[in-house]
Amino acid sequence: MAQSIEFKAVEDGFELLFGGRTVLRHALDCPALAIARGRPDIEMVRGNFRIDDAPQGRRELAAWDAFDGGVRFDGARIEWDGPALTVTCDDPSFDRMYFRFHAELEESVWGGGEQMSYFALNGRRFPMWTSEPGVGRDKSTELTRAMDEAGMAGGDYYHTNYPQPTFLTSRWIAVHLDETCYSVLDFTDSKAHAVEVWSGTARFELFAADGPKGLVGQLADRFGRQPPLPDWAIGGAIVGLKSGASSFDRLENFVDAGAAIAGLWCEDWAGIRETSFGRRLFWDWQVGARSAARYPDLEARIAALADRGIRFMAYANPYLSVDADLYAEALEGGHFCLGLESDEPYLVDFGEFDCGVVDFTREETKVWFAERILGREMLDRGIMGWMADFGEYLPTDLRLADGSDPMEMHNRWPVLWAEVNAMALESRGKTGDAVFFMRAGFSGVQAHCPLLWAGDQSVDFTRHDGIGTVVTGALSAGLVGNAYSHSDCGGYTSLLGNVRSEELLQRWCELAAFAPVMRSHEGNRPDENLQYDSTPELLACFARWSRVHAALTPYVRALSDEAAATGLPLQRPLFLEYPDDPALFAVQDQYLYGADMIVAPVIEEGASQRKVILPGSGPWIHVWSGERYMPGTHTVDAPIGFPPVFYREGSAFAPVFARLPGALAG
């Protein structure tokens, strides 16, 4: 039976309880609700947003009186029904609300969607707005400052492709804001979990469980579970190459090196465009003249790979460049968002080329994109997956076909984009077989997107934008219902002289092997950076770890089936299995891979050992040496090629884990 909210009058105020826990406490000298009128100022440059507000007439709502199923203030009311609270301003001119949920001292908080810098959210505020995450994401670094000067592109710790206004606490409760507007989760006050909402109405959903696994399962039920990943996607590495027809020849070098290959991913399948940022794609998602020039006889090459059990994967995004052939077709079909003052398509500058924004609020447009592009141009040609990129760029000053406010639709846009991709798979009977992966998201994307990817990390070890952020991102996204995450093995963004090192490529292989999908990327400047086929040593490194990834297939298959049944993510924070140890609550640099494996990747440049926490009460086995370790904190040798990985003694999958050293050795 679903739990309900309980009202309790107390001295000078009231409390709301859920699942036996206090979730809101109101007093005259500490009101739970304030309202105001907003004065927003918003600027976008290539998916990077500057959002300011100067709210007017703020009112702290102190006086109250109760009625059946709610509380009335002077200017607003709170009503509850089952596990949900609805807050409404009586005067529609008030469009800002500031809500204070109860917090207890030492209570830990997680969530916020996919957060790349901080897993535990305590002490910081996190705006919920999908955007480019930025390059550097650390205002103290020269790289971030330079990117800010070049177009607000530096970012900060809270910038993310995938925000979600959901938070979980160590009292094993969760709160979800069921709105798409701009909002802020603010945990800077240890006595309150504050939520700022840019709307005159807000609905909050409450969840409670006996422990974190039950709570995560409820959230997965609420937002929708992904289908199990297909065997091919977890059974080897997906090699990312984008050098035209020579990509097929280069793939053979990986095969000859002994790599376990699941797929070849060529994001440049539709053509390329050289820009000052680097090698970009030509945004015309079809097999046309540009595609044929770069990949002659593509369908035949795809079929030949399929005969060998290797899938071909591609790329698409929800925009069309003005010089693309498909642009004219989309224009004739009325498929673009329009300007506010004209019936001309609204154009977005994506960096030296302009694009129209495909309008997914129009059902005919969703069907057209799913059928005409994803269906006929991709799936029907044998393409078995793709990067479904972007989704974060919807401007706030355009006109949508359904008349909705773009400020309300902006965060919803990645979900609509995911729906279109899922629609295409379903139309061809490929759900659970073909796989697309996305970086952008918001509440509800889980029901449509089968696989996350962590976005465009810098090609380095930096704290806020380097290799380690993919671990934090996977752990945070996993708590709100995303079972599967992976990253660009090798990183992506190379700017201002920041290029890949051999050490980075090696360490990223070690990390990627212990994710549900292992996929490499050549980055935005492939000619200036090392690639996995640049040297025999790097090629051998990739081959070794692809074999380790493939050797884990029986275990990952079981975890994938478990995720479909329970909603639990494959990459888990330590406390998910060991909730009684508060010392584990903020750990974000190692993870449980399922319940039986600990992965502690080396994410610091030059490190040859690292501290590892082994939780619980039973022994753990070091995968590479077979040495038995008791629970506790250990400093473990971790030279390149031997990252700290342990499995639980007595695991039913011990025979699988014991074969990993042999797979690594070849």
Q: Which of 148, 389, 522, 577 is catalytic?
A: 389
- Classify residue 159 by its DSSP letter: -
Amino acid letter, residue 321: S
SS3 of residue 205 by DSSP: strand
Amino acid at 402: D
Burial class (CB in 10 A: 0-12, 13-18, 19+), 9: exposed
Q: pLDDT tens, 247-272?
A: 999 999 999 999 999 999 999 999 99
Choice among 186, 456, 510, 577 that is catalytic: 456
Q: Which two tokens stand for residue 212?
A: 């974190």
The phi and psi torsions of 396 (rounded to 5 degrees) equal -100, 5
Strands 518-520, 488-489: pairing is parallel
Rounded to an integer, the average pLDDT of 98-107 is 97
Look-up of token digits 């992966």: 437
Q: How many CB atoms within 10 Å of residue 401?
A: 17
Tens digits of per-residue pLDDT, 538-561? 999 999 999 999 999 999 999 999
From the list 176, 229, 220, the residue with the least C-alpha distance to 447 is: 220
User: Which H helix or E strand runs over 576?
Assistant: helix 574-577
Per-residue model confidence (pLDDT) at position 501: 98
CA distance linking residue 61 with residue 414, whole number of Å: 35
pLDDT digits (tens, 9 = 90+) for 19-49: 999 999 999 999 999 999 999 999 999 999 9
Q: Are 261 and 251 in contact (CB under 8 A)?
A: yes
**What pLDDT is attached to residue 277?**
85
Q: Establish whether 433 is a catalytic residue.
A: no
H-assigned helices in 389-464: 406-409, 413-427
Name residues whose C-beta falls within 8 Å of residue 528's C-beta, 6 or more positions apart in sequence: 494, 499
Two tokens at 233? 């996607």
DSSP SS3 for 394: coil
389 part of the active site: yes
**pLDDT tens digit sequence for 379-391:** 999 999 999 999 9
Tokens representing residue 477 in the block: 């996204």
Catalytic residue among 138, 392, 522, 589: 392
pLDDT recorded at residue 279: 81
Condensed to tens digits (0 to 9), the pLDDT of residues 450-504 reads: 999 999 999 999 999 999 999 999 999 999 999 999 999 999 999 999 999 999 9
Q: Are 520 and 505 contacting, i.e. CB atoms less than 8 angstroms apart?
A: no
Q: With contact defined as beta carbons under 8 Å apart, do 414 and 391 qualify?
A: yes
What are 571's two structure tokens? 């990459």
pTM across the whole model = 0.98
Q: How far is CA 545 from CA 475, 542, 560, 643, in A?
A: 22, 5, 20, 11
- What percentage of the chain exceeds 70 in pLDDT? 100
Structure tokens belonging to residue 256: 């000859």
Which residues, 6 or more positions from 501, have their beta carbon under 8 angstroms from its beta carbon?
Answer: 530, 605
Catalytic annotation on 354? no
Query: In one letter, which amino acid is 40?
Result: P
pLDDT over 90, % of the chain:
98
Residue 336 has pLDDT above 60, yes or no: yes
The more confident residue out of 352 and 7 is: 7
d(CA 584, CA 597): 16
